[in-house]
Chain A
Amino acid sequence: MSATQSLKGRKVVLHDMCLRDGMHAKREQIGVEQMVKVACALDDAGIPYIQVTHGAGLGGNSLQHGFALASNEEYIAAVASRMKQAKVSVLLIPGLGTMKELQAAFDAGARSVHVATHCTEADTSPQHIAFARKLGMDTTGFLMMAHLNDPAGIAEQGKLMESYGAHTVYVTDSAGYMLPEDVRARVVALREALDPATAIGFHGHHNLGMGIANSIAAIEAGATRIDGSVAGLGAGAGNTPLEVFAAVCERMGMDTGVDLFKLMDVAEDIIVPMMDHLVRVDRESLTLGFAGVYSTFLLHARRAAERTGVSARDILVELGRKKMIGGQEDMIMDTAMTMAKARGLAGAA
């Protein structure tokens, strides 16, 4: 039996990221009204979960990650009050976001949360996962930069998150580095380790153009929840483009419950005109995927390149070599300045 046939009838839960991961690509400059417009269109297209926060999630408003046009609570409240069927979700990275902020997001209407840690540091999330469960939220443990831990390690970390109370554990390809076999191996390992009642999800980035293929590989291996963003609006070369993924699912006979043509219209008529730059695989976003670097580093590296005269690609490769991870955006300017000094460039100071 071919893989295509075996997936027939499988249910897949889609989670849109363009109002959270997409904030990175928009330098956090999506207004409340625009968010509401996008979210309403996604809701109408039948997307069941819509993530709405600053790109770095709760607590994200900062000099390190940029300041959005409104607070997370303002965005969440404005969107949540308008949803007919979709649930609003948030991102929470311990060390940046706190339980106080999760409570505030819940009060504003958020009902689902990705509690995210680096793929080896799940034990920084017990408080937050337990608190999300106490609030009654749909709770995901989100293992970022998953290419930096092997399948057995991912299974162990996922098991920890499950023990704290996560309903779902995600393999998160933050660098858009993984190939289908990498995704499959990690999802299989999780599926073997976790309780059958615990769901598995996959969050891809399209830096090597593998977003769709990786998501399909994840489903074949047992994942049931897939993150993507309409028109791919997300960090780096964007997330798995959700309308494309939905079309592929439909061709393969999977059940996403979304209205494909409406989703295509959201992508074309609303999201693409919003883009400051065309979110696509280009020289720098390809470098992210090739070198295994956190996708959010893209625009920061371009800014550091402007200031120091070191090329963004060289900066990104060096960050990959130095094993910098999500959250270390300060190390981009620092690394660029150190490289500029070594090269005798004026931008070193």
Chain B
Amino acid sequence: MSNEHVTEPEVNENLNVSPLDDFDTAETVSPAPVSDDSILDFDDDPLSATSVSKKSLVIFFLIDTSGSMKGKKMGELNTVMEELIPEIRRVGEADTEVKVAVLTFSTEVRWMYSTPIPIEEFEWARLRASGVTSMGAAFKELNHRMSRNSFLNSPSLSFAPVIFLMTDGYPSDDYKEGLRELQTNSWYKFGLKAALGIGQEANDNILAEFTGSKDTVVHAYSGGQLAQMIKIIAVTSSQIGSKSMTLSDDTTHELGEEDVFAAKQKLLGQQIQELVSTQTDGDDVPFDTGW
């Protein structure tokens, strides 16, 4: 790679969020040189190819590991996450390299691994719960890492990340300040955001502030629901994140940027709501009863 700098992407003034303004283009891009070397100067075996260049999709899980998550909630969460990984493996197919990053927050915020891990190699490290709910600190840490210089450093093209927040309580720090910082991040703006409230204490309004809409917030009151909801959200959002849209019936009008803006987030909201409405409670005992 040369050190030549990349031209700044054009910013469309008409959009209320200027696209791409802080996808800091740290990596440089240079086209292949034209060359007329002789036939034997390079590996010319038509059968030896490397994997097609993939677009990268990072799925961020933000998981509340405060003391109130102890017991059944954490047990259920650990189990479903272990089961979930093989299901997400199929999502990327040949076009997308799916990576996973897990940020836990309690009294402290901590990444499960120091860098996003390709889904094929990812192994879930079981989490334990203790301490308070530093959600604001988690937002700040996420903002810090969602950068070309940090976790989103794939040299090739990326899809906007999937960001999935799970919590069972009210933040114990100033989550608003953290969220304000996060909201300036372009990866966050274009990312697919979803949230899961666990049990009675979780506040859906705060979660909707995080995702930007109520459609992408769901609530689980029991272990069975928790497992269902995590799977629904994670699989649906990674499918949508790594694919484009199915299209409108109306072909009389050409799509403009305003038509497609945040289209994936809207689709995610619709699909989550449809899927959630078809789930059944069964005979699960709610988290908050039976003590």
Bound together: no
Q: Measuring CB to CB, which residues of chain A are less than 8 angstroms from any residue of chain B?
A: none
Q: Measuring CB to CB, which residues of chain B are less than 8 angstroms from any residue of chain A?
A: none
